Amino acid sequence: MATVHAVVPQWAVPWCIALCRRRVAPRSCPGQRISHGEPIHGTRSTTTGVPRFSRGREARRRAHNLHRMLTTITAAVWRAQVSLLLAAFLVGCTVAAPTPTAVAACNVTSPNGLTPPARPADPQGYGNGRLWTSLWTNGVVIFKAGGPGAMNDDGSLEMKWPWDRGDGVGQLVITGRRLDAPGPPLRSSVNQSYGDTGFQPSTLIFPSPGCWEVTGTVGSAALTFVTSVIRE
């Protein structure tokens, strides 16, 4: 048989080595290494003159290698997309729980459990024997889509707030200021249809998120608390 020399393209080197090891004696694959531009040794049939590495087989192997390459690329892209989605999900979870940071930045008032006489116990109750209210959990008022309150176009945040008047007879007056940054004062809306004593609902209007001091006054009775306001 006559020896044939051919130059192998770089992409075909791996399968040429494997095929050489299977089809040709080790002596025909010196060093078992082939680099780009080096000749490979095959054999040509002395009867037909057709190379043993037929064109059909070479085409099939090329197609197989291309399929494997595309499969690998597709899998890598899919893994990258999954990683991005997981990262976005984890970031979303982290952003959804800002309460510890808010509490650390604002010295919020803790509830003392006091409620007006004949009222049910309230673990979030806060009062001084003459005026009472109820505080949010952890002292943080959270505004978010689908949650309580209203987020206005001007950036202000509205939340309904309960009060209860004892021996301070009169209408409730609410004032407030932001403690952690300059800004306009708190606004409020008080329902005046509940008489001069007892329960009285209101709406607190925070011009912006932040640390807020709120004071309710009825006659000579006053109650002050500090709360953190967050917009998610």
CATH code assigned at 168: 2.60.40.10
Q: Which amino acid makes up residue 232?
A: E
Task: Check whether residue 29 and residue 114 sit in a common domain.
Answer: no
The SS3 assignment for 166 reads coil
Note the pLDDT tens digit of each residue in 63-91.
Answer: 777 777 767 766 665 566 646 554 544 44
Task: Check whether residue 184 and residue 136 sit in a common domain.
Answer: yes
Question: Distance (Å, rounded) from C-alpha 36 to C-alpha 221?
Answer: 93
Tokens 């393209």, residue located:
9
Among candidate residues 39, 72, 94, the one where a domain is terminated: 94
With contact defined as beta carbons under 8 Å apart, do 218 and 172 qualify? yes
State the burial class of residue 103 (Cβ atoms within 10 Å of its Cβ: 0-12, 13-18, 19+): middle
Task: Check whether residue 70 and residue 85 sit in a common domain.
Answer: yes
Write down the pTM of the prediction. 0.56
**pLDDT of 224 over the 90 cut:** yes
Domain coverage including residue 114: 99-231
Among candidate residues 94, 111, 130, the one where a domain is terminated: 94
Q: What is the DSSP letter of 160?
A: E
Among candidate residues 94, 120, 143, the one where a domain is terminated: 94
The SS3 assignment for 112 reads coil
Task: Check whether residue 58 and residue 135 sit in a common domain.
Answer: no
Task: Check whether residue 85 and residue 105 sit in a common domain.
Answer: no
Query: Beta 131-134 vs 157-165: how paired, if at all?
Result: antiparallel
Note the pLDDT tens digit of each residue in 96-124.
Answer: 444 444 455 899 999 999 999 888 999 99
Task: Check whether residue 204 and residue 107 sit in a common domain.
Answer: yes
Query: Beta 140-143 vs 221-231: how paired, if at all?
Result: parallel
- Residues ≥6 apart with Cβ < 8 Å to 73: none
Question: Distance (Å, rounded) from C-alpha 40 to C-alpha 56?
Answer: 19
